[in-house]
Amino acid sequence: MRTAYTADQIRGAEHELMARLPEGTLMQRAATGLAAVCADLLGRVYGKRVVLLVGSGDNGGDALYAGERLARRGAWVGAVLAGSKTHEAGLAALMRAGGRVVERDALERADLIVDGLVGIGASGALREPYRALVEEANAARGPIVAVDVPSGVDAGSGRVEGPAVRARVTVTMGAYKTGLLVDPGAEHAGTVELVDIGLGAHLPDPDVAALTGADVDVLLPRPGNESDKYRRGVLGVAAGSDTFTGAAVLAVGGALRAGAGMVRYAGPGAPVAQVRAHWPEAVVTELERPSIDDVGRVQAWVLGPGLGTGDWAHEVAAQVLASSVPVLIDADALTLVARDRGLLRRPAPVLITPHAGELARLIRADRDDIEAARLEHARRAAAELGVTVLLKGSTTVVAEESRPVRVNVTGTSWLATGGTGDVLAGVAGALLAQGLSCYDAASCGAFLHGLAGRRAAEGAPLTAADVATAVPAAIRAVTGGGRLS
């Protein structure tokens, strides 16, 4: 599992470790790792032009000492001193190795730019001269390597207020920072390389975690010799309407592809016909009135994709939520709950799967504010509503009160197309029915859905049906039967 920490957590661990080591040890470890990544990116170091953007803090010191190492390997290294002060020992080391102090116009000719302007303690918009330097660096031809976190990105949240470095690679020291895993910060970070400086034993419980394929492999349920379709998980799906028939087809398909032992679909006539045509495996109940009494026993429900938001849909939602099994609430059902929060007053677990606009309605917030601070608002919603939250978007996050937020790292921008959320609801719902908690079902469902999206797209447009078809291959990949990419 990849774990990430806030700036305060990192600083606390660093202080504990520094008290046990000779002065400067951590900076030298960081500089060695940084220089190695820079050398790999340059390919041939000798004769290459490297420009360091040096701020007042320890990031500037890391950059200077890394520049010293590159200069000793034959690189032309120049430092733009932008801070009110400079790490004197680092600058002296760079100068002894043949480096020099340069003006900002050196950026235009740089083969590599090292961003050591601000570190993990910075927040808010960059001030001058950092702001202008960042804009010039982003416009230069050379790739940027950010030290610890790209300047302009809030290390604790991923917020970006104004110009921020767009790094090819971010070399982060000791542990991942929360803001490197969550957009918009993650988008600015590029590839993140972790340099081990010895913090591990001194770190507290993480702020954020990202599952790996191995983690999902451990969590996924497997059928045993005694399994039958009932023991493998029976999922109820209340979705679709005469207007939106496809949502029901996609949600049921996602659930079947994700291994539900049985899917019981309940809906009106038009989507019933479509589900029967596409998925003869599903057990279908046509609802002539808004009652789920005849659907049969289920172990979890998916509620909402394409359901509509009128009185009929509200009554179906009320009956599903009155049940004693876990319920995943998606799409139209989120609109119903936003209007009537009393629907959430139930003893059984609830997983909601909103995008930013739906979450905005649920917690009376601004959509743009949610996009800018996804962790903060997902946590707020989990606490305020008493549910598990899977917030969809450029970074999918899963929040549950008193647990580290989980960030999904497998998605692709090609998933931004109609119907893929319906497939995700079916996948996560199937995992709920198979016995996973809301927290694990949401996290594993997002991982598999993102991986299926990557496999279905392979750099080209996809449809939601393509994603559903690719789910079994994604499961095979994490359980050892295929490639994880």
Is 205 labeled as ligand-binding? Answer: no
Backbone φ and ψ for 428, nearest 5 degrees, come out as: -65, -35
Is 123 labeled as ligand-binding? Answer: yes
Is 332 labeled as ligand-binding? Answer: no
Is 422 labeled as ligand-binding? Answer: yes
Is 377 labeled as ligand-binding? Answer: no
Is 130 labeled as ligand-binding? Answer: yes
Rounded CA gap, 185 and 439, in Å? 24
The amino acid at residue 241 is S
Is 198 labeled as ligand-binding? Answer: no
Q: Helices 269-278 and 246-257 meet at what angle, rounded to 10? A: 40
Rounded CA gap, 191 and 69, in Å? 22
Is 110 labeled as ligand-binding? Answer: no
Reply yes or no: is the peptide bond before residue 129 cis, omega within 30 of 0.
yes
- Give the Å distances, CA to CA, from 395 to 198, 232, 296, 391: 29, 31, 37, 8
Is 393 labeled as ligand-binding? Answer: yes
Is 148 labeled as ligand-binding? Answer: yes
Is 394 labeled as ligand-binding? Answer: yes
Is 227 labeled as ligand-binding? Answer: no
The amino acid at residue 465 is A
Is 369 labeled as ligand-binding? Answer: no
Q: For residue 19, count other CB atoms closer than 10 A to its CB.
A: 8
Is 58 labeled as ligand-binding? Answer: yes
Is 115 labeled as ligand-binding? Answer: yes
Q: Are strands 350-352 and 283-286 parallel, antiparallel or unpaired?
A: unpaired
- Give the Å distances, CA to CA, from 333 to 241, 268, 305, 317: 12, 16, 7, 7
Is 121 labeled as ligand-binding? Answer: yes
Q: For residue 83, count other CB atoms closer than 10 A to its CB.
A: 18
The structure tokens listed for 51 are 């420009």
Element (H, E) at 370: helix 367-372
Is 421 labeled as ligand-binding? Answer: yes
Is 225 labeled as ligand-binding? Answer: no
Is 306 labeled as ligand-binding? Answer: yes
Is 413 labeled as ligand-binding? Answer: no
Reply yes or no: is the peptide bond before residue 472 cis, omega within 30 of 0.
no
Is 56 labeled as ligand-binding? Answer: no
Q: Helices 438-457 and 420-433 meet at what angle, rounded to 10? A: 140
Binding residues for K(+): 59, 115, 151
Give the residue ranges of the annotated binding site.
58-62, 115, 119-125, 130, 148, 151, 247, 306, 355, 392-396, 421-422
Q: Which residues are annotated as a binding site for (6S)-NADPHX?
A: 58-62, 119-125, 130, 148, 247, 306, 355, 422
Binding annotation for AMP: 392-396, 421
